[in-house]
Amino acid sequence: MAEQQRSDVLTFYVNGKKVTVSDADPETNLLGFLRQSLRLTGSKYGCGGGGCGACTVMLSRYDPQTKHIHHFSVNACLMPVCQLHGAAVTTVEGIGSTKTRLHPVQERIAKAHGSQCGFCTPGMVMSIYTLLRNKPQPTMEEIRETLGGNLCRCTGYRPIIDGYRTFCESENCCRVNGSADCAANGNGPLEPAENGRTETSGKEELLPLDPTQELIFPPELIRMAESEERATQTFRGERMTWISPVSLDELLQLKSQHPQAPVVMGNTNLGLDIKFKGVVHPIIISGFRVRELFEVTEKPEGVCVGAGSSLSTVRSVLEKCVCSLPAEHTQTLAALLEQLSHVAGEQIRNVATLGGNVASAYPNSDLNPVLAAGRCSVVLQSREGKREVPLDKDFFVGFGKTVLKPDEIVLSVFIPVSRKGEVVRAFRHAPRKENALATVNAGLRVWFEEGSNVVKEMSVYYGGVGPCTVSAERTVQQVVGRPWNEATLSDAYRALVDEVTLGASAPGGKVMFRRSLTLSLLFRFYLHVLQHLKDTNVSEGEIPSEQLSAVEHLPNIIQPSYHEFQDVLSGQSEQDPVGRAVQHQAALSHATGEAVYCDDFPRTQGELFLSVVTSARAHARITHIDVSRALNMPGVVDVFTADDIPGKKFRCFAGIDEEILALGEVTCVGQMVCAVVADTKPHAKLASAAVKVHYEDLPDRIFTVEEAVEKRSFFLPQREIQRGDVTKAFQEADHVYEGEIRLGGQEHFYMETQSMLVIPLGEEKEMKVYASTQHPTMVQEAVAETLGIASNRVSCRVKRIGGAFGGKLSKTSILASITALAAWRTERPVRCVLDRGEDMLITGARHPVLGKYKVGFMSDGRITAADVRYYANAGHTPDDSVLVIEKILLHMDSAYNILNLRGQSAACKTNLPSNTAFRGFGVPQTLMVIENMVNDVAVVLGRPAEEIREKNMYKETSLTHYKMEFDPEVLLRCWEECKERSELDRRRLDVARFNQQNRWKKRGIALIPLKYGVGFAEGFLNQAAALVHIYKDGSVLVSHGGTEMGQGIHTKVQQVASRELDVPLSMIHISETSTSSVPNTCPSAASIGTDVNGMAVKDACQTLYKRLEPIRKQDPNGTWQSWVAKAFLERISLSATGFYRGHDLYMDWVKQEGRPYAYFTYSACCSEVELDCLTGEYRTVRTDLVADIGRSINPAIDIGQIEGAFMQGLGLYTMEELKFSPSGVLYTRGPGQYKIPAVCDVPLQFNVYLLSGSHNPHAIYSSKGVGEPTVFLGCSVFFALKEAVAAARSDAGLSGPFTLHSPATPERACIACGTRFTQMIPETEMAEPWALELP
């Protein structure tokens, strides 16, 4: 018994400290263990599925056979704690802190301004830290690849890349980046020069990287690994038992006894099934300690790789083989390497295994088509013996099914060397260039008769076009025995069209695109083989020069970028920080993991966790809620419904009530019905899944705006605005054109999901609420109204937010009300943290919009009339939708002076989750519609689009269509400077030349202007208040109504206080935003946070400074500390409130006039793209952005906001797709299905210039709001893409305006190109599609 007990004890190290666990639960992952058991909260929960990298840690293991210590990054959210025996874990807390010493990795991301909200920063830090442990002087390509598994929604990645570029080895980095602008270790573009322009080297030395100072691998773990006393370990949890054998015989014995038990290695498949699909396995067998599964044997005929080898290990093995073998033997190995470089992120590749990839038999596996085409085989073993099975069409028998018997395991995979005359290639296409599951992939092989171009043997395998890996046998038959030429391949294309088919409702959708990709990839293979035949002197023919682009990769080398700040004011004090690139006040805390977010607050005694139950129907009556099973589950305390709410059962938005919990009827999938509270998060989640809601479906579900228009389903009021005589102008125009564009929604994808903690204080009905919200007062009011108590009994506090973008306003208040209800009823603290999938399902997104326009214009390009109708899909409740459609109309003039203009907008009521505020608040949609209209005018007239834009821009002091006067002089300056900086005229000629010389790659370039109104049209929302304390030691505490969510408001407010009080930044602190300190706050939104809160703090500081004036006069040579001490003794108040009333903004919709904005900010942006016409994939080659932000308070923070907004816009217009089923169920519920931009999507050269000489009398220190406007400029990439598509269409004989909806995904771009391969795909039969076509 004692021996058995020892085998059940888990021993590993975390940050150099020994951890022993005697009751490890197989369902506990490393992330949960670190955060809850060890209170190491630096590692963050971002998605729970290994897709975002926020939870990245370093794992180290000792190999007793090689005597080598291996360091590798992993996603802690997928790593079972039971798998950690003998491992050393290093978290962000373990490498450095502000209390001891910083690690260079932490310091450099902070100094490069590479963190904004900071939630993703620890993951970024640990990814690069692991890379440096393995390679202290990496190349830029290795840094970029390492960051491929980490997502950031705030920064746009550029400053992160800049910070870590400083680790590059000097002799290589500059070569990779094409410039000597990158310095060696210790120097980098981190510090601002005196004039505000970035310098190559810093003024002060960066911390040097010293590998000798890292944590050593624990000697005890080395002794454990080398000990012969290896025994099976068994860990029993509530639902599952984990068995970890140490020998192959024992593994096979267990598999024989438990044939249905899965064998887990990396947990990248099984972990997701358990977490997201609710799969339960009573027994799990871990093969991680079975050495035979990791053996690698090289033979003359090929390499045999153990099935347990990680994909990173396989990659290393193949790289070694490719280097040591003759080129003709490396075809299959090189093809596999090509695929492995794109499979998932580094963290997943480090644990996912080759055998798991084969056995899971996913239809879009990147490796299986190549393994099958490359004549590979697998060795399967059971207690009955071994058998070697070819990895071919017969191996895969259905979705997730192979020929493996229940008691068999995959022991190894044999990869043969290629033969003379054999060519093997691998291709893939995915929604994002890296770290994304493939849409379609292919493994293709051809073997020629010796010295001939006659095909002797061929294999063609596809993934992503069937339930499993598909073999195109009939296509192959068209080729074998024939010469490799266009005639042969033409027959193959026709056969392939008939052989590989997909129904209209095939899972995953994109039917036409996926089918066309099979042809495009075969064509690409054809050209590769032609080139090979020429290179081996078999054939004299060669690829025509214009066709060469089909086999060339898109550019991917990240170039150094340039960022131009503004000069600080002449004569400004060195101590005055305003206008300087001050580091984010919490940057170092972000980088060390010390920054505290809502879910990082320690658990308190008796604390409960809340999980919501959501509707499974789009429109139905609730007939019964059965909670009996849930109440009987372990740890469950109670279930709450709307009937339990003591106060108001609804929240009022835009004058319309929204139920907190459903009252008898549900109107969308994802509507909150009830809530379960339990002692732990897992118990609450299991119990919420056990609640059974019975429905009676109701008729007339509405999902699209067309259906809403047909059934007159709108939220009122609808809005209309007009100037001039539109009807007459149409009659007098030379040309009239009508068009439309559909814009999809966009998920906020803030890295920190909705989080809140409510603590009942036990007396006087007081409630303390910690929430991740942009609007603490709204949360305070919502909780008070729900509980039927006064607001003075509720305190809402916000330390910081891990990203928000408008998504943490209305729904956050409702979630806080539900959490407060549970805390009120149970009289215990209650925490609610949504999983990523729940968050995406419940909280809504940016409004999808259908824009229809009719435009009249003259032959010289002047637009004389426009009539535009906007239909926004609001979802099932109004939320902010009416305000959004108002802002849509207010910005519909864009930068253009269209004298006869009419706009109508409607918020369509549908049975989808309510859409809500999102950065830009309708402006990115309306401006996109207008720019598409202008673009169509240019196409009709055959003129460059920027010529039409420039001709129609405001030129002199003018009135907008709502009669607000403004001077466009700064707009025109931005436009002209951007034209000059981007070298538009020269590059347009270069683009034309490139397109003429290349058939399958096309370039496009677009220049877009921006006029953006800043402020709330509802005047009362522009007020702010502040509270400033000076303590006796001279330190200053500032409180204001703004919330810090990455936009740097606390940093800028500190700069304001520093200037006004004339004290160093180091003496000023901002702790949190609290309704107890500053009441009646307005939301941190609309880009006015610093404008209004900065003015309130300025007011308070000026009051205090004036109070101290007599003291200063008495002692002019004294210090700040001495003046403060004297003031206290003289009983002068050292605390003051500040208030800013804000501008009197308004909009009168009856008169159709007003002043809804305090001022306008202007920008212009030029982007160039290169498009692969065969797949629709593209790269943004260069972006130049000139931004008017007045006089910047902090240029580093402002440029970070500009870049981050631009990248979010790039995602909106070219990548991000929300997909709903025909019954209204959201498919895209995490980073696996929903792709935001990653490092691979950053413009290869990204130059940002802050316009000099701009002033703004309407905001603090002549600055301007910066958070929202440049989201729209991401559309410069869209229009550059559209131009590239037009060039492809021209080659295909197509001309004139064409439809390209937003986002311009690879699917849409490829189909719009109209290549011969897309035209070969027949129309699919009429059937219900896999997904709705929104808006």
- Bridge-partner residues for 71, per DSSP? 60
What gap in Å lies between CA 1216 and CA 815, rounded to an integer? 26
Asked if residues 1030 and 1036 have their Cβ atoms less than 8 Å apart, the reply is yes
Asked if residues 90 and 1178 have their Cβ atoms less than 8 Å apart, the reply is no
What gap in Å lies between CA 938 and CA 1007, rounded to an integer? 13
Return the SS3 of 659: strand
Residue 138, C-beta contacts closer than 8 angstroms, at least 6 positions apart: 131, 132, 146, 167, 168, 169
Phi and psi, residue 286, nearest 5°: -100, 125
- Rounded-to-10 torsion of CA 1229, 1234, 1239, 1245: -140
707 flagged as catalytic: no
Amino acid at site 1278: F
- Three-class DSSP labels, 712-723: CCEEEEEEEEEE
Residue 1039, C-beta contacts closer than 8 angstroms, at least 6 positions apart: 1026, 1027, 1028, 1070, 1071, 1072, 1073, 1074, 1077, 1078
232-259 per-residue burial string, b: 16 or more CB within 10 A, e: under 16? bbebebeebbbbbbbebebbbebbeebe
Asked if residues 744 and 1335 have their Cβ atoms less than 8 Å apart, the reply is yes
Question: Of 987, 1248, 1310, 1235, which is closest to residue 431 (Cα–Cα)?
Answer: 1235
Phi and psi, residue 477, nearest 5°: -60, -30
Asked if residues 1182 and 1324 have their Cβ atoms less than 8 Å apart, the reply is no
Amino acid at site 483: P
Asked if residues 494 and 418 have their Cβ atoms less than 8 Å apart, the reply is no
Question: Of 202, 203, 123, which is closest to residue 160 (Cα–Cα)?
Answer: 123
Q: How many CB atoms lie within 10 A of CB 750?
A: 25
Catalytic annotation, pick one of 785, 1170, 1203, 1268: 1268
Question: Of 1299, 1295, 1301, 1293, which is closest to residue 1319 (Cα–Cα)?
Answer: 1293
Sign for the CA dihedral angle at 613, 616, 617, 622 comes to negative
What gap in Å lies between CA 931 and CA 1296, rounded to an integer? 17
Amino acid at site 995: N
Inter-residue long-range contacts of 955-963, CB under 8 Å, 24+ positions, other chains counted: 955/897, 958/897, 960/893, 961/721, 961/722, 961/723, 961/892, 961/893, 961/898, 961/901, 961/903, 962/721, 962/890, 962/1147, 962/1152, 962/1153, 962/1154, 962/1156, 963/1152, 963/1153, 963/1154
What number of helices (H) and strands (E) belong to the chain?
A: 39, 51
What gap in Å lies between CA 1030 and CA 1111, rounded to an integer? 15
Token pair in block for residue 1116: 């002019």
> Which parts of 261-377 fold into alpha helices (H)?
270-277, 311-324, 331-340, 346-349, 354-360, 368-373
DSSP string, 1051-1074: HHHHHHHHHHHT--GGGEE---EE
DSSP string, 160-218: HHHHHHTTS-HHHHHHHHTSTTS--TT--TTSB-TTS-B-SS-SSPPPPP-GGGSPPPP
What gap in Å lies between CA 472 and CA 1089, rounded to an integer? 59
Catalytically annotated residues: 1268
